[in-house]
């Protein structure tokens, strides 16, 4: 039986005999061939569907490791700043480990499903008037003086856990892809993947992909080369103006001969609708930034015809029902009469 990451990849992770075997069967997510999009784009495209992790995002990979180490080191509480997914994962794993989670979120700028998760798992939720960057600064300060373990991705155990997604991709494809496309917010995940691909190469002899990271245009600090004071994007997960792992992300880009570029909200929403309506995969807007980037890079030649590309779908679409409902032209057909339904169906089926 698959139990979780810490067990599966124990030889590749900082695990000692004192590390608790914390697990919610995280990781082991599918790599789904995107057949229609592959054909349309002229590449071999796969989606790494991280939205199928236990709390619905890739954060579970890093959080299981960070919380296990916090417990090993005697912590009774953890704290994080979050645009939503980190807080959901922190709350779940803290509960699992029997410790307390404090989560600090930007007021009003977190998707409803993520907030619901933090509430359900029983976190202590603190909302601040500022954005993610300000929340992160606050928790970093607090963790200096109070007895809580900081579990944002500035905690190196987070990246250790998250690098396992790169291992899985190499195992699933039986090689490394030519290109790994990934959304960039606080820039931890792109850094973790790059670490993972490099370690897998050392251990298993696989090649290295080019890393293509994508920020939202209204929050594109790395692309613009300066922090953004007031980041804005429909993709609230990556609404971040001063990424903590900025340097690591630039290293991943440069060492891999890749790119960090930006995608507009329009490109994000187009990709968001496309992958759901054409491939049957529902991702959250922040996750669609990677596919938006793939489409952009096929157009401008940064991805070449026939290349094998993995796009990381970092979070589940169910996390953000408001965007799903507000960003569609599809209307709900209200009918109480069976005859109306029959007529509606016949017209529809006849047109197929």
- Sole window of 1-9, 69-77, 181-189, 273-281 interacting with ligand F0G (rule: CB under 6 A): 181-189
Q: How far apart are CA 24 and CA 5, in angstroms?
A: 9
Cβ atoms of residues 31 and 168 within 8 Å? yes
Of 113, 161, 177, 188, the one binding ligand F0G (CB under 6 A) is 188
Give the residue ranges of DSSP H helices in the chain. 5-8, 35-41, 59-72, 85-97, 112-121, 132-145, 156-162, 164-173, 188-204, 221-224, 246-255, 265-279, 285-299, 321-326, 338-350
186 part of the interface to ligand F0G, by CB under 6 A? yes
Q: Could you count the other beta carbons within 10 Å of the beta carbon of residue 39?
A: 10
Of 238, 248, 263, 268, the one binding ligand F0G (CB under 6 A) is 238
Q: Positive or negative, the Cα torsion across 169, 173, 174, 180?
A: negative
Nearer to ligand F0G, 83 or 256 (CB): 83
Nearer to ligand F0G, 67 or 238 (CB): 238
Beta strands 31-33 and 44-49: pairing type?
Answer: antiparallel
- Sole window of 94-102, 117-125, 163-171, 280-288 interacting with ligand F0G (rule: CB under 6 A): 280-288
Q: Which residues pair with 183 in a beta bridge?
A: 214
Q: Which residue has the tokens 């067990």?
A: 7
- Give me the least distance between CB of 110 and ligand F0G, in Å please: 9
Of 65, 78, 154, 184, the one binding ligand F0G (CB under 6 A) is 184
Cα distances (angstroms) measured from residue 304 to each of 82, 133, 213, 262, 323: 36, 36, 16, 19, 32
Q: How far apart are CA 185 and CA 181, in angstroms?
A: 13
55 part of the interface to ligand F0G, by CB under 6 A? no
Q: Is 85 part of any known ligand binding site?
A: yes
Nearer to ligand F0G, 46 or 58 (CB): 58
Query: If binding means CB under 6 A, how many residues of this protein chain bind ligand F0G?
Result: 22
- Sole window of 184-192, 256-264, 299-307, 342-350 interacting with ligand F0G (rule: CB under 6 A): 184-192
Q: Is 348 part of any known ligand binding site?
A: no
Q: How far apart are CA 261 and CA 213, in angstroms?
A: 6
183 part of the interface to ligand F0G, by CB under 6 A? yes
Of 256, 287, 296, 323, the one binding ligand F0G (CB under 6 A) is 287
Which positions lie near ligand F0G, rule CB under 6 A? 57, 59, 82-86, 153, 183-189, 237-238, 284, 286-287, 314-315
Binding-site residue ranges for pyridoxal 5'-phosphate = 85, 185-189, 314
């Amino acid at each position: 039986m698959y139990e979780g990451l810490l067990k599966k990849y124990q030889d590749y992770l900082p695990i000692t005999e004192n590390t608790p075997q914390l697990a919610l069967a995280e990781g082991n997510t599918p790599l789904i061939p995107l057949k229609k999009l592959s054909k349309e784009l002229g590449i071999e495209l796969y989606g790494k569907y991280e939205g199928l992790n236990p709390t619905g995002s890739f954060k579970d990979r890093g959080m299981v490791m960070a919380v296990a180490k916090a417990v090993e080191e005697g912590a009774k509480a953890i704290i994080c700043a979050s645009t939503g997914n980190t807080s959901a994962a922190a709350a779940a794993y803290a509960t699992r480990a029997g410790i307390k989670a404090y989560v600090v979120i930007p007021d009003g700028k977190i998707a409803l499903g993520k907030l619901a998760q933090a509430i359900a798992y029983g976190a202590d939720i603190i909302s601040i008037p500022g954005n993610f960057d300000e929340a992160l600064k606050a928790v970093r300060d607090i963790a200096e003086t109070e007895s809580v373990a900081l579990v944002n991705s500035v905690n190196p155990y987070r990246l250790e856990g998250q690098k396992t997604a790169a291992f899985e991709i190499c195992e699933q494809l039986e090689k490394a892809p030519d290109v790994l496309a990934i959304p960039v917010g606080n820039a931890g995940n792109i850094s973790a993947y790059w670490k993972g691909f490099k370690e897998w190469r050392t251990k298993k002899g696989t090649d290295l992909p080019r890393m293509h990271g994508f920020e939202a245009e209204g929050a594109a600090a790395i692309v613009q080369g300066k922090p953004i004071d007031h980041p804005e994007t429909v993709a609230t997960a990556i609404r971040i103006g001063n990424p903590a792992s900025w340097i690591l992300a630039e290293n991943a880009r440069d060492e891999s001969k890749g790119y960090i570029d930006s995608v507009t909200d329009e490109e994000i929403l187009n990709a968001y609708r496309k992958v759901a309506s054409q491939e049957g995969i529902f991702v959250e807007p922040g996750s669609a930034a990677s596919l938006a980037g793939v489409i952009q890079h096929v157009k401008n030649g940064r991805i070449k015809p026939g290349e094998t590309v993995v796009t990381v779908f970092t979070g589940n679409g169910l996390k953000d029902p408001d965007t799903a409902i507000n960003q569609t032209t599809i209307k709900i057909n209200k009918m109480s009469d069976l005859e109306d339904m029959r007529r509606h169906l016949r017209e529809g089926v006849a047109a197929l």
